[in-house]
């Protein structure tokens, strides 16, 4: 078993032994041979591409399997107690009190009909016998711990009155409010700007150590895991292929897959190119004989294809499942910067002048002047609530409470999308941050993309089917995904479908609102390459709203920094990152997580 912690057995808060979860009917394994131990006060980072089984393992700690799956073997213990022996009622009592969960998508996890204060109070009331005064004190304390206003005005708000980052922090507060023994964090910082993310990560570390909470942090963001986790387990196609102390694993990863993941992480300094991983991870029931990574691995030999590699110790508490770990160690992680031709921006395609926006009586954008040029990628960054998404929605015609000028190719745009022509709607396409809410759950992937094609490119059904397959291939999805529904896809796969739907319209302006926040680093690299190719082929202009400053270095030509509804700095990415003029920009850069931090911890 990979020794995730050297702590004494009495300090182990969560332990998974030989866990196998399989699909009902086919018996195909979703995850198998999962062995993990997490000690009190420690953070275990669980990383890997979308569909690798990270969330499945995390949810298993709460005694939950997705519909269509079942625990076929193994044992899960929380504080030395096997959860398999618990009744449904006992499991419900366990969740939130002993083991809690921070979801990837707080927008669907929070009850839209209840005020924030009531939801926090109900959590405490359901799992503790505290007095009303004590509950009120704990609620305010929990909000302060995640850098939210600890006042009655904030508690009276509904979830829709909060930004995405604020919703995520409320979800974290709800998970910690009962001081559980184990907490499962499923991508809890994907919706946060880097400043808030730094605060939340520091809070997670502090709360785990202060209250002896064992945390399993599920993430595709290796830079965040490098800063937060004590130990790391790397998953691929339902197996743990490498596990060990974070510092050692990030400094000298031994599995080829781990090393390729690190090569796909954006570099804030711009000293290396982002390199994706060719091919796709195999799905349950379609995994090859031998090592599952062999079809994508340059080191694969006949022995790799014959049998799955056994566990091998390569250091103190460091395990790897690879026949060629020594050879993998000799391969460089850092890649030389790409030598591809630079794209030159043309005349302004989108011009914004004196733009003000309101949400009811609240003034949210102030005198915004900005231009997006043809064939340019302009990054828009800032903290949650800074006005980034409001500006993006004004451009797409999704927010009509605005004044000022907004022009596409010199023609003034109507305030709302419904008042714009079909051609204008085709030219400006929007990819939303939240793929869980933006895809119709009653339509297959193919029907979703085909509907977009019907709107803008009428044609016969056979031609649409071909174009649907082309759109999916563009975003690194197999054409067979057209027959699946959104709930049958991972979070990263759903976001790729949302991007494919937007690209199906062949737009001239693509507004991307945190489109890579749900993607693993490998697919993120593929999307970056895709957007660059589309810009070269179509003259596509991209407004890229993000909090990932390292990714900006890779994808954007210019960057605009927003705070408090105002743009405080605009310029070429290299110049702004090298010598930022605004204090706020300097703070963003200082708070951006880096993988290299783990080497020095």
Distance CA 585, CA 569 (A): 8
Among 120, 195, 192, CA closest to 156: 120
Domain ranges of the chain: 9-98+180-330, 106-179, 348-437+508-600
Distances (CA, A) of 329 to 136, 257, 275: 53, 11, 17
Check pLDDT > 90 for residue 341.
no
Please give the CATH architecture assigned to the domain spanning 9-98+180-330. Answer: 3-Layer(aba) Sandwich (3.40)
Average pLDDT, the chain: 87
Check pLDDT > 80 for residue 449.
yes
Distances (CA, A) of 115 to 122, 162, 169, 178: 11, 11, 15, 19
Q: How confident is the model at residue 597 (pLDDT cuts 50, 70, 90)?
A: low
**Whole-number pLDDT of residue 113:** 95
**Whole-number pLDDT of residue 6:** 39
Assess whether the region 9-98+180-330 and the region 348-437+508-600 belong to the same CATH fold: yes
Check pLDDT > 50 for residue 338.
no
Q: Classify residue 113 as exposed, middle or buried by CB count within 10 Å of its CB (0-12, 13-18, 19+).
A: exposed
Q: Which helix (H) or strand (E) holds 76?
A: strand 69-78
Q: Please state which of the ranges 278-282, 391-395, 501-505 shows the lowest mean pLDDT.
A: 278-282
Distance CA 561, CA 548 (A): 12
- CB contact at 8 A, 386 and 546: no
Q: Select the CATH number that applies to the domain covering 348-437+508-600 from these four: 3.90.1150.10, 3.40.50.300, 3.30.1490.190, 1.10.3720.10.
A: 3.40.50.300
| Tens digit of each residue's pLDDT (9 = 90 or more) over 58-85 | 999 999 988 899 999 999 999 888 998 8
């Amino acid at each position: 078993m990979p020794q995730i912690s050297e702590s004494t057995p009495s300090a182990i808060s969560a332990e998974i032994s030989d866990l196998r979860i399989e699909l009902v009917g086919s018996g195909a394994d979703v995850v198998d041979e999962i062995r993990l131990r997490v000690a009190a006060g420690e953070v275990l980072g669980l990383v890997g591409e979308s569909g690798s089984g990270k969330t499945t393992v995390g949810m298993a700690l709460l005694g939950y399997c997705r519909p269509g799956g079942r625990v076929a073997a193994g044992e899960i213990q929380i504080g030395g107690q096997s959860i398999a022996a618990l009744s449904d009622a006992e499991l419900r009592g366990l969740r939130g009190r002993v083991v809690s969960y921070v979801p990837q998508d707080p927008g669907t996890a929070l009850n839209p009909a209840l005020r924030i204060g009531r939801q926090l109070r109900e959590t405490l009331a359901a799992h503790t016998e505290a007095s009303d005064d004590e509950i009120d004190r704990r609620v305010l304390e929990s909000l302060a711990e995640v850098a939210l206003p600890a006042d009655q005005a904030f508690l009276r708000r509904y979830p829709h009155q909060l930004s995405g980052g604020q919703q995520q922090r409320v979800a974290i507060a709800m998970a910690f409010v009962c001081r559980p023994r184990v907490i499962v964090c499923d991508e809890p910082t994907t919706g946060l700007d880097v400043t808030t993310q730094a605060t939340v990560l520091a809070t997670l570390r502090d709360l785990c150590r202060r209250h002896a909470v064992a945390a399993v942090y599920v993430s595709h963001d290796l830079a965040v895991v490098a800063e937060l986790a004590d130990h790391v387990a790397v998953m691929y196609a339902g197996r743990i292929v490498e596990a060990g102390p974070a510092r050692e694993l990030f400094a000298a990863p031994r599995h080829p897959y781990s090393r390729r993941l690190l090569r796909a992480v954006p570099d804030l300094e711009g000293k290396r190119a982002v390199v994706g991983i060719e091919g796709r991870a195999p799905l349950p029931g379609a995994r090859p004989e031998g090592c599952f990574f062999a079809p994508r691995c340059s080191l694969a030999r006949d022995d790799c294809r014959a049998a799955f590699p056994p566990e091998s110790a390569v250091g103190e508490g460091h395990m790897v499942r690879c026949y060629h770990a020594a050879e993998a160690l000799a391969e460089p992680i850092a890649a030389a910067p790409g030598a591809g031709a630079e794209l030159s921006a043309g005349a302004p395609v989108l011009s914004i002048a004196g733009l003000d926006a309101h949400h009811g009586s609240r003034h949210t954008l102030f005198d915004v002047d900005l231009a997006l040029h043809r064939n340019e990628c302009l990054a828009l960054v800032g903290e949650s609530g800074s006005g980034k998404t409001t500006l993006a929605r004004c451009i797409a015609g999704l927010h009509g409470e605005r004044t000022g000028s907004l022009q596409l190719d010199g023609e003034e745009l109507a305030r709302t999308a419904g008042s714009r022509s079909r051609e204008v709607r085709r030219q400006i396409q929007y990819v939303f941050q939240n793929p869980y809410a933006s895809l119709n759950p009653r339509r297959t992937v193919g029907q979703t993309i085909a509907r977009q094609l019907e709107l803008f490119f009428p044609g016969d059904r056979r031609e649409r089917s071909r174009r649907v397959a082309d759109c999916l291939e563009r975003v690194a999805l197999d054409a067979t995904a057209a027959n699946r529904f959104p709930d049958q896809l991972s979070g990263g796969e759903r976001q790729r479908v949302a991007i494919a739907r937007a690209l199906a319209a062949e737009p001239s302006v693509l507004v991307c609102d945190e489109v890579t926040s749900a993607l693993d680093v490998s697919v993120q690299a593929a999307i970056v390459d895709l957007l660059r190719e589309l810009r070269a082929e179509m003259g596509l202009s991209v407004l890229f709203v993000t909090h990932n400053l390292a990714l900006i270095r890779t994808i954007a030509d210019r960057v605009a920094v927003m705070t408090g509804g105002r743009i405080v700095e605009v310029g070429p990415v290299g110049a702004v990152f090298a010598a930022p003029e605004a204090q706020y920009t300097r703070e963003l850069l200082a708070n951006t997580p880096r993988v290299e931090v783990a080497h020095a911890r």
